[in-house]
Amino acid sequence: MTPSTPRVSLGHFPTPLQKLERLSELLGGPEIWGKRDDLTGLATGGNKTRKLEYLLGDALAQGATTVITTGAPQSNHARQTAAAAARYGLRCVLVLASMAPPNITGNLLLDHLVGAHVRWAGERDRYEVMEEVAAEERAAGRTPYIIPYGGSNAIGASAYVQAMDELIRQMHEQDLHFDHIVLATSSGGTQAGLITGARALNFRGRILGISVDKTADVLSPHILELAQLTATHLGFRFELRPEAVKVNDDYLGGGYGVMGKPEKEAIFLLARTEGLLVDPVYTGRAMAGLLDLIRKGAFSSGEKILFWHTGGIPALFAYAEQLLS
Ligand SMILES: Cc1ncc(COP(=O)(O)O)c(C=O)c1O
């Protein structure tokens, strides 16, 4: 990361490392820790806060006055983008998939509270709608800046190279090491940044992304390409190999955003053993995958696993009825 990389301040860093003692004991296998990026602090936090420090830095350096991004109706990325825009006095337009739901809750409620303008894309291509919005903004004399889905380009992913550096410093300070990092992966920027950071900083553990919505044959090459682009963006000259990208797609369940039994079990288990919240779409699914892998004996009992908690908590409220049924 060069000192000239434009960056704004949005979150509270370093995020804590927390040993999940009761959960580890209950499972009787490896030691499980959490990296609490759910506590980054931007309108409840999450992994996009890190990416947005760089993306908004770039937007402001380019003279943007409006940021435009896209996501699902309960997008955590959209909510954090809208909050970041509010913090820096920018206009924000969110192009959200499908139609307005009957209830405004969870992330969507927060989008409204922080003043985002929501455009429902229906069945239309969301990138096309974002370009239309950008043209409207230009016509109104404003300067738009489009942030891709998930904030997952080289600029956004470079935040997770920095996050790997943060983790390594914490490991030194606390005399810790991790054999595995496990995280929820979707648009791939978080995992790509961690992979690039691991290579650049010589982190020896394995990084496993549990896919929430795409098959590994689609997601893995995308992450590899993004990790390589991120390395180039930061001036690293190494070449990453496909083996660096580990994606598990065994836990796709009923598809994106469909909370099934495993996610529900993970949400209740974590809440009741650790007082720790995971969400129905991302971290609950990744945790359900991790629990299953531990129960199947995929890790040995002497190992240490870091669950990189990427946030998503507001979505819990949008699933209240299903959680309590
Ligand atoms: C809570 C949460 N976890 C994980 C992810 C996945 O991160 P990425 O899109 O960088 O793969 C997201 C993305 O929206 C998210 O909101």
**Per-residue pLDDT at 240:** 98
pLDDT of 266 higher than 80: yes
Catalytic hit among 9, 24, 75, 211: 75
Task: Examine residue 5 and state whether it is found in any structural domain, yes or no.
Answer: no
Q: Which atom of ligand 1 is nearest to the CA of 279?
A: 1
Are 306 and 179 part of one and the same domain? yes
Q: Work out which ligand 1 atom sits closest to the CA atom of 310.
A: 3
pLDDT in tens, 226-248: 999 999 999 999 999 999 999 99
What's the pLDDT tens digit per position in 275-292? Answer: 999 999 999 999 999 999
122 exposure class (CB count in 10 Å sphere: 0-12, 13-18, 19+): exposed
| 192-224 residue pLDDT tens | 999 999 999 999 999 999 999 999 999 999 999
Q: How far is the CA of 213 from the centre of ligand 1 (A)?
A: 11
Nearest residue CA, atom 3 of ligand 1?
Answer: 310
Q: Which atom of ligand 1 is nearest to the CA of 183?
A: 4
Mutate to test the pocket of ligand 1, among 36, 49, 225, 282 (most ligand atoms within 8 A of CB): 282
Asked if 196 contacts 244 with a C-beta cutoff of 8 angstroms, the reply is: no
| Burial status of residue 63 (CB atoms within 10 A of its CB: 0-12, 13-18, 19 or more) | exposed
Whether residues 213 and 318 fall in one domain: yes
Residue 4 located in a structural domain: no
CA of 75 from ligand 1 middle (Å) equals 9
Instruction: Please check whether residue 86 lies inside any domain of the structure.
Output: yes
Q: Are residues 165 and 210 in the same domain?
A: yes
Q: Which of 1-10, 21-30, 150-159, 178-187 has the lowest mean pLDDT?
A: 1-10
Domain containing 119 equals 48-151
What stretches of the chain adopt beta strand conformation (E)?
17-19, 31-36, 66-71, 91-96, 117-120, 144-146, 180-185, 206-211, 246-248, 304-309
Of the candidates 115, 131, 151, which is a domain's last residue?
151
Share of the chain above pLDDT 70, in %: 99
Instruction: Give φ, ψ of 119 to 5 degrees.
Output: -115, 120
Q: Are both 228 and 118 inside the same structural domain? A: no
Ligand 1 atom closest to Cα of residue 76: 16
Has 75 been annotated as catalytic? Answer: yes
pLDDT tops 70 at residue 2: no
The answer to whether residues 54 and 90 belong to one domain is yes
| DSSP secondary structure letters along 115-154 | TPEEEE-BTS-HHHHHHHHHHHHHHTT--EEEPPGGG-SH
Q: Is the pTM of this model over 0.85?
A: yes
Select from 35, 38, 47, 259 the residue to mutate for testing ligand 1; criterion: most ligand atoms less than 8 Å from CB.
Answer: 47
Looking at residue 195, what is its pLDDT?
98
Q: Are 181 and 272 contained in the same domain?
A: yes
Helices and strands (H and E) in the chain: how many: 12, 10
Q: Could you tell me if residue 9 is inside a domain?
A: no
Measured in angstroms, how far is the CA atom of residue 188 from the centroid of ligand 1?
8
Report the number of distinct structural domains present in the chain.
2
Q: What is the pLDDT of residue 302?
A: 95
Residue 298 lies in a domain: yes
Closest among 64, 102, 70, 103 to 85, alpha carbons compared: 64
End position of a domain, from candidates 124, 151, 178: 151
Cβ-proximal residues to 302 (8 Å cutoff; 6+ apart), any chain: 30
- For the segment 69-75, the average pLDDT, to the nearest whole number, is 98
Domain boundary among 151, 168, 186: 151
* Within-domain flag for 8: no
Q: How far is the CA of 212 from the centre of ligand 1 (A)?
A: 9
Q: Whose CA is nearest to atom 9 of ligand 1?
A: 187
> Both tokens of residue 55?
């993306």
157 and 28 in a common domain: yes
Query: The domain that contains 123 carries what CATH number?
Result: 3.40.50.1100
Say yes or no: 159 and 40 in one domain: yes
How much is the pLDDT for 5?
Answer: 84
Q: How far is the CA of 48 from the centre of ligand 1 (A)?
A: 7
Looking at ligand 1, which residue's alpha carbon is closest to its atom 16?
A: 76
The confidence band for 1, taking pLDDT boundaries of 50, 70 and 90, is low
144 and 183 housed in the same domain: no
For residues 198 and 311, membership in a common domain is answered with yes
Band of pLDDT at residue 67, cut at 50, 70 and 90: very high
**How many angstroms separate the alpha carbon of residue 151 from the centre of ligand 1?**
9
Residues 205 and 302 in one domain: yes
For a mutational test of ligand 1's pocket, the pick from 39, 75, 267, 310, i.e. the residue with the most ligand atoms closer than 8 A to its C-beta, is 310
Atom nearest to 311 CA in ligand 1: 1
Q: Residue 115 pLDDT > 70, yes or no?
A: yes
Determine, yes or no, domain membership for 279. Answer: yes
Residue, of 29 and 182, whose pLDDT is higher: 182
Distance CA 227, CA 185 (A): 13
Residue type, 311: G
**Interval 39-53: pLDDT, tens:** 999 999 999 999 999
The answer on 208 and 75 residing in a single domain is: no
Ligand 1 site residues, Cβ closer than 6 angstroms:
46-47, 76-77, 150, 152, 184-191, 279, 282-283, 310-312
Residue 272 lies in a domain: yes
